A and B are shown apart, each in its own frame.
Chain A
């Protein structure tokens, strides 16, 4: 896990490489962001095989759209996250995914109604995932929707039948609890 300062410096390097059309940018993205982004992808597509496909497709898309990234509009991580999330969600809607993925055999339904792996060998040693599990279910729910499924706060408010302000507060509190546990 790179530090915040390291990530900020890497982000600048990647943007500079984007501008020079230097594919070394992808090497840095793979090096510094792969685990986080593939983690999100895994949460959506459920299997490593599909996650590998999606990560590969995402990197190609990132490269093809690198000229559209504007550092004045938002963080690089956020831009990368949106591309990966959309690619992963598209994959779950594909015919090959639906045909090859048997939800009934390997998946259970999470508190939020989304399928999650019943047995995953990929829980990291630090136990961050355990931390998420220890969150109040109402906070787990908003993390699941906002981070892993890309719901806007308006969509979450509609889905959870909550006021917009309450959704924002829950997001804030959920991430704040994780920050405390992670010492950030």
Chain B
């Protein structure tokens, strides 16, 4: 180990040359450096070796010195400028982050403000954060409430519709169950088709409705329309849009002489299409 060598041995070992050449391991180089620093003869020997190597290196240099300093200084300036800009960007990011957290309340640096002010700022930030949280919660709850209200309104509308239907059906059932009035059978007017239908007419209430029928299904563009023939004129007495549905209960003044059903376009017609009549029956009373 070089550490065990005396100065003479070290100078003759070749280790000093390797030390100046920079090819010794770091730990060994550090050890040699300490010895060189502490011994004048070793220091002079190292300086002589270094001077020899410098002169040897110079012997391979171009005759004219290289002029690179302007480029080097520019490169360094550009690099330091970029580093400064990057630092500023990083600082801006950090600042933006703090501002964002504090809901745009700027927080002075610790060194510039008394501690009570810093504490107050922290309390303000916490308070603002809490407010923001509760506001968000309130917004969320409000949105849920609005949704529920909307759903409730929809349910109410649906309920109203159903109630209306129930009322209509109740009226229709009451009409049918009323012992007063006439039941009129309408017979097929189409050859080969065993169509028929029944109409209940109550002269006292003047209500009219279909209540039993044997008819064919129609397309979506067609409906069955009931007509009451009063004083020789057809008067619309309601529509049967779906064979499975409850027909409308209609109130008509006057005494019908007969009832008839025709096939009409969806929505019904002002006047019956006689060619599309399917059933007809006279009121016998």
Interface residues of A in 1-36 (CB under 8 A from B): 1, 3-5, 7-8, 23, 26-27, 30, 33-36
Q: How far is the CB of A110 from chain B (nearest CB, A)?
A: 13
Complex Cα gap A127–B55 (Å): 10
Are A77 and B54 in contact, CB atoms less than 8 angstroms apart? Answer: yes
Are B22 and A27 in contact, CB atoms less than 8 angstroms apart? Answer: no
Complex Cα gap A26–B34 (Å): 27
Are A124 and B54 in contact, CB atoms less than 8 angstroms apart? Answer: no
Residue of A nearest to B77 (CB): A23
Interface residues of B in 43-58 (CB under 8 A from A): 44, 46-58
A4 contact set on B, CB distance < 8 A: 44, 47-48, 50-51
Contact A146 B33, CB 8 Å, known A26-B72, A179-B48, A184-B51: no
B30 contact set on A, CB distance < 8 A: 72-74
Are A81 and B22 in contact, CB atoms less than 8 angstroms apart? Answer: yes
Complex Cα gap A146–B26 (Å): 16
Q: How far is the CB of A5 from chain B (nearest CB, A)?
A: 8
Q: Taking the complex as formed, is A75 at the interface, i.e. its CB lies under 8 A from any CB of chain B?
A: yes
Are A124 and B33 in contact, CB atoms less than 8 angstroms apart? Answer: no
Q: B55's contact among A74, A128, A170, by CB below 8 Å, is which?
A: A128
Complex Cα gap A132–B30 (Å): 29
Are A151 and B53 in contact, CB atoms less than 8 angstroms apart? Answer: no
Q: Taking the complex as formed, is B20 at the interface, i.e. its CB lies under 8 A from any CB of chain A?
A: yes
Number of interface residues, chain A, beta carbon within 8 A: 67
Q: How far is the CB of B88 from chain A (nearest CB, A)?
A: 19
Interface residue tally on B, bucketed by range: 35 or more
A8 contact set on B, CB distance < 8 A: 47
Are A52 and B66 in contact, CB atoms less than 8 angstroms apart? Answer: yes
Complex Cα gap A35–B44 (Å): 22
Contact A23 B63, CB 8 Å, known A4-B50, A73-B30, A128-B58: no
Query: Which of B11-19, B106-114, B131-139 lies on the face that meets chain A?
Result: B11-19
Are B61 and A30 in contact, CB atoms less than 8 angstroms apart? Answer: no
Q: Is the interface of B mostly helix, strand, loop or mixed?
A: helix
Contact A60 B76, CB 8 Å, known A27-B69, A124-B59: yes
Q: Taking the complex as formed, is B62 at the interface, i.e. its CB lies under 8 A from any CB of chain A?
A: yes
B63 contact set on A, CB distance < 8 A: 121-122, 124
Q: How far is the CB of A17 from chain B (nearest CB, A)?
A: 14
Residue of A nearest to B46 (CB): A75
Are B22 and A7 in contact, CB atoms less than 8 angstroms apart? Answer: no
Are A23 and B76 in contact, CB atoms less than 8 angstroms apart? Answer: yes
Are A38 and B51 in contact, CB atoms less than 8 angstroms apart? Answer: no
A168 contact set on B, CB distance < 8 A: 13-15, 17-18
Q: List 11 A-B contacts (CB under 8 A).
A: A1-B58, A7-B54, A36-B54, A36-B58, A48-B66, A73-B33, A75-B46, A78-B21, A146-B17, A147-B56, A182-B51
Chain A to chain B: the 7 pairs with minimum beta-carbon distance, closest first:
A168-B14, A36-B57, A39-B60, A128-B59, A172-B14, A39-B57, A39-B61
